[in-house]
Amino acid sequence: MIANPAPAITSITHPQLDASNLSLSLLRLDEVHPLISGNKWYKLKYNLIKAREEGHRTLLTFGGAFSNHIYATAAAGKEFGFRTVGVIRGEKNDPFNPTLQFAVDQGMQLVYVSREDYRKKNSPAFQDWLTSQLGQCYVIPEGGSNALAVMGCTEILPHEHSYQYIASCVGTGGTLAGLLESNQDQATVLGFAALKGGSFLYEEVNQLTRVYSKKTYQNYQIVEDYHFGGYARANVELVDFINTFKREHGIQLDPIYTGKMLYGIFDMASAGYFPSGSHILAVHSGGLQGIRGFNERYRKKKLRIIVN
């Protein structure tokens, strides 16, 4: 059995919240493990258990060149005794970026495929090709989102809570689905889309909960207004917010997911979205490994996340 750490809950105080009579707490999943960070711990947990039960020795998964999921799967494979293979979207990076260098250092084998072929990754023909090249593997989907990931993510929230709003980043929907399952109808759940055009995530989340429990939840919203131009896009305003948050609260946010979510919560609070007296729990889903790659990519634009 893989035991869950007990994440801390940090209270966030700020005049902007006080002005709206709001209480904000941050669930610190970024602290659950130094390498298998944040929500990835929960999404991988039952997949690793099933892989071991079925006698698999190799985990295979998918992601982009800066993927938190690739990073975490490589670390989990090394820690729990699995060989790992990462199918990477796009051309080979030479030299490796920090994410892929870490994955290789953990023993992960990288397989590069074109963006066109990557879009076919779930097709039977592509799966057959992978098997012919790599042998039998335990396959974990991109982002780690499947029914077993949902099961793991039902263990994120405190068993009992009095929050009116639960906020989380959303990329592939697995974490949000797990939060809905454990929350049931206690609070409104807000999923802050990290990518542009996130309305499709409703169907992704609904499909995951239908597979997991045959339920479709109505008490959630995909918030699409804080993607800052799309996945992994950012600007000076977002970077300044992240750096100011670190300076004022001593908590590191990342620019792909958690920075956008917290920015959105503060902006929505200023706009009067939350009723006076509301207590909000925001899930810090980790992803901090991506900061090094972000700083490298945006160096010419002079955007830099402060990490010291």
Task: Give the total residue count for the chain.
Answer: 308
The pLDDT value recorded for residue 238 is: 97
Q: Does the pTM exceed 0.85?
A: yes
The pLDDT value recorded for residue 1 is: 59
Summarize the confidence of residues 249-273 as an average pLDDT.
97
Summarize the confidence of residues 251-275 as an average pLDDT.
97
- The answer to whether 130 and 87 have CB atoms below 8 angstroms apart is yes
* Segment (H or E) for 74: helix 68-80
Question: What are the pLDDT digits (tens) for 54-97?
Answer: 999 999 999 999 999 999 999 999 999 999 999 999 988 778 89
Domains of the chain listed by start with CATH number? 9-34+153-301 (3.40.50.1100), 39-144 (3.40.50.1100)
Pairing, β 9-12 against β 23-28:
antiparallel
Could you tell me the pLDDT band of residue 6, with boundaries at 50, 70 and 90?
confident
The pLDDT value recorded for residue 159 is: 81
R_g over Cα of the chain: 19
**23-28 sheet: strands from edge to edge:** 9-12, 23-28, 279-284, 165-170, 188-193, 220-223
Could you tell me the pLDDT band of residue 294, with boundaries at 50, 70 and 90?
very high
The pLDDT value recorded for residue 2 is: 80
Give yes or no for residue 129 having a pLDDT over 80.
yes
Could you tell me the pLDDT band of residue 255, with boundaries at 50, 70 and 90?
very high
The pLDDT value recorded for residue 5 is: 83
Summarize the confidence of residues 109-118 as an average pLDDT.
94
Give yes or no for residue 185 having a pLDDT over 90.
no
Q: List strand residue ranges (DSSP E) for the chain, in order.
A: 9-12, 23-28, 58-63, 83-89, 109-113, 138-139, 165-170, 188-193, 220-223, 279-284
Could you tell me the pLDDT band of residue 256, with boundaries at 50, 70 and 90?
very high
Between CA 138 and CA 92 the distance in angstroms is: 24
Cα-Cα-Cα-Cα dihedral sign, residues 67, 72, 73, 77: positive
The pLDDT value recorded for residue 267 is: 97
Q: Where are the alpha helices (DSSP H) in 97-161?
A: 98-105, 115-118, 124-134, 147-153
Cα-Cα-Cα-Cα dihedral sign, residues 123, 125, 129, 135: positive
Question: What are the pLDDT digits (tens) for 134-150?
Answer: 999 999 999 999 999 99
Cα-Cα-Cα-Cα dihedral sign, residues 213, 218, 219, 225: positive
Which tops the pLDDT comparison, 237 or 130? 237
Could you tell me the pLDDT band of residue 184, with boundaries at 50, 70 and 90?
confident
